[in-house]
Amino acid sequence: MEYIFVLNPAAGKNRAALSLIPAIQKICSKHKISPQIYISQSGDDICEYVKNACAGKRRRVYAVGGDGTLSCVINGCGGNENVRVGVIPMGTGNDFIRNFDINPKNFFDIEKQLSGRTVKCDCIKYNSGLCVNICNIGFDANVAVDMPRFKHLPLVSNNMAYNMSIVYNVVKKLGRKMEIYADGQPFYKGEVLMCAVANGTACGGGFRVAPIARTDDGLIDLSVVTPPSRLKLGRFVRHFSAGSQLEDEQMKKYVHYTKCKTVKIISPAPINLVNDGEGEKMTEAFFEIVPGSINFILPGKK
């Protein structure tokens, strides 16, 4: 077994991922491991490197960055049974690890990462590749796309940057026209505030847009939210922060939720699609679940 650490210097604030290199080298040396440390230049660069490094070989690959870095690693090796994938969460949202009943601090513990067990996780295949956590379309995607302009400001935390981007987008037109199909059947047509095609529960640093999603159930959680008046947006933020939107009677007329194996979305005009924090434009997208396609490393509960 060989160990690879893929570092994204752009993740988080102040090039935080690079600061882990001495600790990685020290702990690996203690365990007589000679790690490969790769400093990425871009998302495509990560995919290509991981694909070549893992071809026909047994590897543990650790994404040192956020959900976007993890997604790029998985796009390089997804479906490869010889590869175990872990994440040391140095990014902005770090939402994928919220799916597991493990102390988040353990994901930063390199020794526990080296000896961690693996579990099978699903991923979602769509137009441009694989999604491990959530594909967002609409308001929350716009928030994610605009957040980087705020997160690099002095004294602004990741959560503050996300909230600032929410306020920035509230003043824009809230709804976008879409046609949405689940398992080939019409699910919703009309104005959409936001749509989540989810394998995991949370995005944006803890907003639980798919509160009952599981990463190993072989299903996509599809959440479609219709636009409210701006006066009700505060209620929406509170419910999605707590993950209680499916339980509240007043929210039921706005939230359309189902579990399925495929999703198709059509938009008459280009809109933002954000895959695990990485944005692109689309007018049509098709999603399907790929069960048990990832061997994900869990660093232990203690």
Q: Give me the residue spans of the domains in the chain.
A: 2-122+293-298, 134-291
Architecture of domain 134-291: Sandwich (2.60)
Q: Give yes or no for residue 196 having a pLDDT over 80.
A: yes
* Res 142: pLDDT: 86
Question: Which position has the higher pLDDT, 44 or 27?
Answer: 27
Cα–Cα dist 68/147, whole Å = 14
Superfamily assignment of 2-122+293-298 in CATH? Probable inorganic polyphosphate/atp-NAD kinase; domain 1 (3.40.50.10330)
pLDDT at 179: 97
190 pLDDT more than 90: yes
Give tens-digit pLDDT for 279-296: 888 999 999 999 999 999
115-161 confidence digits (pLDDT tens): 999 999 999 999 878 999 999 998 878 887 888 788 778 877 777 88
The pLDDT, as a whole number, for residue 11 is 62
Mean pLDDT of 23-37: 94
pLDDT, averaged across the chain:
90
Kindly report, residue by residue over 226-261, the tens digit of the pLDDT: 998 888 888 888 999 999 999 999 999 999 999 999
Share of the chain above pLDDT 90, in %: 64
- Give me the pLDDT at residue 124, please: 97
| Model pLDDT, residue 141 | 86
Q: Distance (Å, rounded) from C-alpha 276 to C-alpha 269?
A: 22
Q: pTM of the full predicted structure?
A: 0.89
Position 13 scores a pLDDT of 55
